[in-house]
A and B are shown apart, each in its own frame.
Chain A
Amino acid sequence: MANAKDNVGPRAIPSAGPDFEHLLAQEVVIEGAETAPTGAQAIAPDHSPRAPVPTHDAAALPAPALVASDDVQREVEQILYRQAELLDGKHWQAFIDLFAADGVYWMPVTREQTEWEGSPSIFAEDKPMMEIRKGRVSHPNAWSQAPMWETNHLVSHVAIESTANGAIEVRSRFHMMELRRDAIRHFGGSYRHTLVRDAAGALKIKLQRVDLFNGQAPFDYVLQIWV
């Protein structure tokens, strides 16, 4: 009631009486304090239940995408789509072949990690290690590969950030669904590819960084192969 203040003073607390009827006839409006400290801030000014809020300075903003020539944009998109297609089709060697000889597939645990070596990762694999993973999932007695599973990747938001020094930096986003037994799991996040050209001029992956949006969640079951 907007005019409640006209009837009673804003701070007047009606006193209890023999019945409740007179209480219902009165209304109290309390007003949020503008300056006086209240709530938990009044009790413990230095307490915050929150983790430190990341600073949103200009440097942390994603770089705007380059408007690269149509040719480069399409060429880059096609290698990303190709990679997704090879994973969903379980063409492991062809997937590995997309990487440069010194190429690395890396999935850190947190966004703050900057180097693929030297801190705990979910994946941190050079080509020999990728070959071991391929060998493992292809082995007839790889128990966790029975039953086999299926995945479906979507890749989008392909934004080329730079093409300087013979390397293309590109970020994109992905969504992968995985079916195993009767359960579907979802993995989403972002890719960051550093692409270089081999002697024949073909694009190869020098570094693929994969940030799962849920990288720090407890995993219901492990990931078997690259995402």
Chain B
Amino acid sequence: MDLSALVEPDRVHRTVYTDQQIFDIEMEKIWERIWIYCGHVSQVPNPGDYYAVTIGRQPMLMVRQNDGSVQVLYNRCPHRGVEVVGNLKGNTGSALVCSYHAWSFHLDGSVRAIPLAKGYEGTRMTRDNPDCGMKRAARVDSYRGFVFASLAADGPTLLEFLGEAKVAFDDMCDRSPVGEVEVVPICHRVMQHSNWKFFMENQLDALHPSVTHQSTGIAAGRVEKRIKAEQGSAPLYYHYLSAFASSFEQWDSVQTINFPRGHGILKAYMGLRPRDPDTVAHEELLKRAYGEAKTEEYLSRSIHHVLVYPYLSVQSPLQQLRCLRPVAPDKTLSEIWHFRLKGVPEAIYRRSLWYYNLVNSPATMINADDLENWTKGQWGLQSKGGDWVSFHRYYGDDREENGVTYSNHGTSEAVMRNQFKAWSKYMAA
């Protein structure tokens, strides 16, 4: 399959969103090679704690080890191939045990006991053969408590892969006076009936909000205005919704920054530093921990969210993270997590929780309309009414410095052009 014919600098062929064969190549060349987010260390606090996670098409397990480290294993018994763990999460005690023939494994996947082991004498499946253990992900690493695994033995390190996008985790953790977050152990899961690319493009598409989210933005703005008139001020969470109804011109001024490997940043537009007592108290804690200058540096990063291409959207100022697990060309599972800043007043958590509930819950008043777009997008791309998807807005206006692409316009489709540049590189490898 000649993939290079499908991606041009200003447009892509519709089949990159719809074709099963292309999807399979994506799983093989991208998902099952690059660093994939598995979870946060606080999801598995104790030895034996595990969390099931999918990397590409591979069922995997993130397991806390006896020595405190975190290992990632293929969830597969080497005997007859049965998935060893059936739950999404739990504690497995000192051993992983297969439900079929009770092969058991240490927490690091190495074999612990095989019933009637003498039956294997003289075969290639004796316990000194490493193939008798559960296979481990080729590489596991973490950054500031966020665990990633790569199924390829070679390739860039985690930090090289993240590149500038590592600021997502810095921006989240630096808001804690101890530099750490912990997971809120509830995950919203939403099944998108669309190719994963729709979500990734949408996250840095600054033109769509005032169109797609107008209904909610206007309804929220009306209530916010009334509460302000009655009470002098309105809680910040009304603004989370009303901001979506800003004008085209305002959105055009919200810049995007586009990095190599397809990562990117949508710069801040919500004004999340009000001067209320809770915010002031929070900033005081940071100043005590980091000093005035560092605190200012940490809090003045202009970030709405950061994309780690091709599957992660981190909204660091509000401590939320969305992770895509592609299922099929037209089916994508989105896992949505929220984190607490350690050592910070409860009010700061609750303020960001409103965003999590209003925007990211399954009853969201925002993503409901995004999901509708993506579903209809997936259907529309089946049409032979046209073969190409256009990314022409402000084409030619891009400014590239040291591999980083900027545009003078926030609504520029430089975002998608940059993502497909990275996609082509992965797919050609």
Contact = CB atoms under 8 A, between A and B. Distances in A.
Interface of A: 39-40, 42-44, 46-51, 107, 109-110, 117-124, 128-129, 131-139, 141-145, 216-224
Contacts of B104: 40, 43-44, 47
A132 B242 CA distance: 10
B113 A139 contact: no
B399 interface: no
Interface string B49-62: 00000000000000
Nearest to B113: A43
Contact of B362 (A128, A133, A223): A223
B197 interface: no
A128 B231 CA distance: 13
B292 interface: no
A167 to B, nearest CB: 25
Contacts of A144: 368-369, 371-372
B61 to A, nearest CB: 12
B215 A139 contact: yes
A109 B215 contact: no
Contacts of B43: none
Given A119-B184, A128-B223, A143-B372, A223 B363 contact: yes
In order of increasing CB-CB distance, the 4 nearest A-B pairs are A135-B219, A139-B215, A218-B189, A44-B95
B115 interface: yes
Contacts of B365: 132-133, 136
A141 B214 contact: yes
B206 interface: no
Contacts of A118: 346, 349-350, 353
Contact of A47 (B97, B190, B350): B97
A142 B371 contact: no
A75 to B, nearest CB: 30
A107 B188 contact: no
A136 B215 contact: yes
A142 B369 contact: yes
Contact of B338 (A117, A120, A136, A141): A120
Nearest to B96: A47
B369 A135 contact: no
A219 B189 CA distance: 6
A38 B256 CA distance: 61
Interface in B349-363: 349-350, 353, 356-358, 361-363
Sorting the interface of chain B by its residue count into under 10, 10 to 19, 20 to 34 or 35 or more gives 35 or more
Contact of B97 (A43, A117, A121, A136): A43
Given A118-B350, A118-B353, A123 B97 contact: no
27 contacts: A43-B113, A44-B112, A46-B93, A46-B95, A47-B96, A49-B85, A50-B87, A110-B186, A117-B350, A120-B353, A120-B356, A122-B357, A122-B361, A122-B362, A123-B363, A129-B358, A132-B216, A132-B220, A133-B219, A139-B219, A141-B215, A143-B372, A216-B189, A222-B361, A222-B367, A223-B362, A224-B368
Contacts of B215: 135-137, 139, 141-143, 145
A138 to B, nearest CB: 8
Contacts of A107: 363
Given A40-B104, A119-B184, A222 B190 contact: yes
A210 B173 CA distance: 34
Nearest to A130: B223
B201 to A, nearest CB: 17
A222 B363 contact: yes
B9 interface: no
B16 to A, nearest CB: 24
A143 B212 contact: yes
B97 A44 contact: yes
A145 B113 CA distance: 57
A42 B117 CA distance: 14
B66 interface: no
A219 B190 CA distance: 5
A46 B94 contact: yes
Contacts of B223: 128, 131-132, 135
B233 interface: no
A178 to B, nearest CB: 13
